[in-house]
Structure 1
């Protein structure tokens, strides 16, 4: 498990005085401010983020070191990370997406299906994008209790029972 968890991203400038457009990945979007200071992926830059007010698809925010629109635009696309210790503990049946990425996925018979490449959410339930074993192909597996009955972070594995039609069909010879 990684010590840095992505909690948001900078979408660019908001106005001309160095304010930023920030997108939050937090379950309670406003909580992103509580995890300051935030950092970039390699930890080389830290940001003390202050939310100014909600805007469409996120928040207008300020970082004290950013004073101009150009400086704000230079940070566009920066993913914001919080240290794991800053985040709340989760119930047993909830997981940070960063903890799922890279886990090996086995079917209920113990056959390796592949590994989790990404976790997607397009408005409904989360989807695990699986990189299938021995191929470059990927499939999307619903991250539901029925399709994913077991997540074992300690052993780095997931047991899945994919619905019919999710996995490519094997050629019957």
Structure 2
């Protein structure tokens, strides 16, 4: 999934307005202006579309964690190195932390999107990359998880986002 789509779907699912989005970005020392926010919220192919860098999405998710769970004392935002890629597994992990989801919450979100996975499949997504049972999170699984959290927080299908 492209990072713009993830950002747009998270915003829709959690009902975040422009002001709240800008506050989340600012909370991780990455203040952006409203025009840039609108540009990264555009869909691919639209006139003002600007690609959202992986580092920007990572900072936003870190800000969302701070917003939902509280900021850790003495911690500062971690900026991805240049050309580093934020994997779907990383996105899923950060969303899980921000939303304070336990295993059952994750499974329920996926089941509500009609994409059931087993507990062992889910735990494989959160293992370290070099673990023998590690599994890559595919775009379809991430998309369905985002649809599931949209269903949970908005009561509507995430396909509208």
Question: What TM-score results when the alignment is normalised by the length of structure 2?
Answer: 0.30
Greater length-normalized contact order (CA 8 Å, ≥ 6 residues apart): 2
Higher share in strand: 1
Higher share in helix: 2
Bigger Rg, structure 1 or 2: 1
